[in-house]
Amino acid sequence: MSSQTASAPDLAERVRLEVERTIARSIKGVEYIASPAPALGVSPKDLVHKDGTLNLYHYRPSSDEIYRVSLLIVMATTNKGYVLDLARGQSLVEFLLQRGYDVYMIDWSAPRPDEKRLRFEDYALRFIPECVRRVQERSGEDDVTVLGYCMGGVLSVSYAALHAGDGIKNLVCFTTPIDFSQMTLFQRWADRRHFDVDRLVDTSGNVPAELIFRGFEMLRPASRAVGQVQLWDNMWNDEFVASYRTFERWGNDTLPLAGEYFRQTVKALMWDNALYRGTFEIGGRRVDLAGITVPTLHVTAEHDHIVTTDASTPLIDLVGASDKQRLVLKGGHISVAAGPNAHKRLWPKLDAWLGVRSV
């Protein structure tokens, strides 16, 4: 009896709320269609070096004093770096600047047709070393922390393994694949019995962004449709809509990949699993992860559907550093580093680990 009397006003309140939300959905739905895409990459920055697909940005400090050691972020080659600088209050970069870090970022543009010949050699032996040199020059300090995200992490560990003693002070990786045999679906799709990577690269030059985007999307084929329904359901909620739009825009902003770099990724990393096996060679030099002796932090996501935890876990076991830590956090491939949950889970932990190692 008491439950019935208590639930009647509840029901009325719920109906009232739903009617309000339905009206708000209609109004805001029109606003959504009519309004321009949200501004992303909000922290002030300067382009300090450009070399074709490579852009090196220096973010303007926002604190009265900064740590001695600068931080160089190496973004994944498939996506734009503004995912780490989405909007005020949702930006890892902004957070790091406020906490006193001197932040640089290697952000990639779509490779030009003539850059189809770029290889791991160009990324790990030319681009990153040149950027580290420029950071050292600008900061006046030899020590630099390198932070790589996803395939940016693969490039960073390759660089760190091949450039021991060249000024890299700390290495941080986010969701970095090492054991490519554990990336089950990608393995299936790139099965050497069916997938003619030579034909793809020889015909296309650079691998089209559409192909990369569809590859990611196929990992969770129902999620896009569900996302649209959830957007409609939450159209009344400005915060949800803003977040949806920023992530959707970023997701659609997938970059093409340099042809030769893609060919190497498929043949050496996917087919031969060479990075994990210790047989991966760049410029005739073996990438031995045991050669990484600087303090190393690897952040992995519990629900990462792109780089599964089985694929990312081995890094910490393989590096030769004595000061090393693997941090497993709730979240997915993106949400572990960007967005409201990352603000609570990852960022303070990253600051705590990095701060004491940046003096």
Partner 1 sequence: MAEKPSDPLGVWRDLLSQWETSANAIANKAMATDQFSGSMNQVMNVTLQAQQQLGEIMARYLATLNLPSRTDLASLGEQLAAIEARLGQIAGILERQAAAQGTTRRRQGARTPQAAKAPAPIPMPPRTKRPPPEGP
Site membership for partner 1, residue 16 (CB under 8 A)? no
Which of 226, 281, 303, 340 forms a contact with partner 1 (CB under 8 A)?
Answer: 226
Contact present, 169 and 357 (Cβ < 8 Å): yes
Taking the complex as a whole, the smallest distance from the CB of residue 23 to partner 1 amounts, in Å, to: 15
**For partner 1, which stretch binds (CB under 8 A), given 5-13, 120-128, 287-295, 309-317?**
5-13
* Separation of alpha carbons 182 and 322, rounded Å: 26
Total residues contacting partner 1 (rule CB under 8 A)?
Answer: 57
Q: Give least dist CB 30 to partner 1, A.
A: 22
**Nearer residue to partner 1 within complex by CB, 86 or 105:** 105
- The interface with partner 1 within residues 43-62 (CB under 8 A) comprises 46, 50-52, 60-61
Name the minimum Å distance from CB 295 to partner 1: 14
Among 25, 55, 67, 182, binds partner 1 (CB under 8 A): 67
> Which one from 150, 157, 299, 336 is the annotated catalytic residue?
150
Q: Is 228 in the site for partner 1 (CB under 8 A)?
A: no
Q: Is 223 in the site for partner 1 (CB under 8 A)?
A: yes
150 is catalytic: yes
Kindly state the smallest distance separating residue 12's Cβ from partner 1, in Å. Answer: 11
- Residue 310 binds partner 1, judged by CB under 8 A: no
16 or 68, CB closer to partner 1? 68
Q: Per CB under 8 A, does 184 bind partner 1?
A: yes
In the numeric block, which tokens belong to residue 238? 């400005």
Query: Quick one: which of 297, 348, 351 has its CA closest to 323?
Result: 297
**356 near partner 1, judged by CB under 8 A:** yes
CB of 65 to partner 1, least distance (A): 4
Q: Which two tokens stand for residue 9?
A: 């006003």
List 233, 281, 317, 323, residue binding partner 1 (CB under 8 A):
233
Is residue 68 close enough to count as binding partner 1 by CB under 8 A? yes
Minimum Å gap between C-beta 286 and partner 1 is 29
* By the rule CB under 8 A, 220 interacts with partner 1: yes
Per-residue 3-state assignment (H helix, E strand, C coil) for the chain = CHHHHHHHHHHHHHHHHHHHHHHHHHHHHHHHHHCCCCCCCCCCEEEEEEECCEEEEEECCCCCCCCCCEEEEECCCCCCHHHHECCCCCEHHHHHHHCCCCEEEEEECCCCHHHHHCCHHHHHHHHHHHHHHHHHHHHCCCCEEEEEECHHHHHHHHHHHHCCCCCEEEEEEECCCCCHHHCHHHHHHCCCCCCCHHHHHHHHCCECHHHHHHHHHHHCCCHHHHHHHHHHHCCCCHHHHHHHHHHHHHHHCCCCECHHHHHHHHHHHHHCCHHHHCCCEECCEECCHHHCCCCEEEEEECCCCCCCHHHHCHHHHHCCCCCEEEEEECCCCCCCCCCHHHHHHHHHHHHHHHHCCCC
Gap between the Cα atoms of 155 and 169, Å rounded: 16
* Window 104 to 163, contacts with partner 1 (CB under 8 A): 112-115, 139, 141
Footprint on this chain of partner 1 (rule: CB under 8 A): 2-3, 6-7, 10-11, 14, 18, 46, 50-52, 60-61, 63-68, 100, 102, 112-115, 139, 141, 184-185, 188-189, 191, 193-196, 199-200, 203-205, 218-223, 226, 229-230, 233, 352, 355-356, 358-359
Q: Tell me which residues are annotated as active site.
A: 150
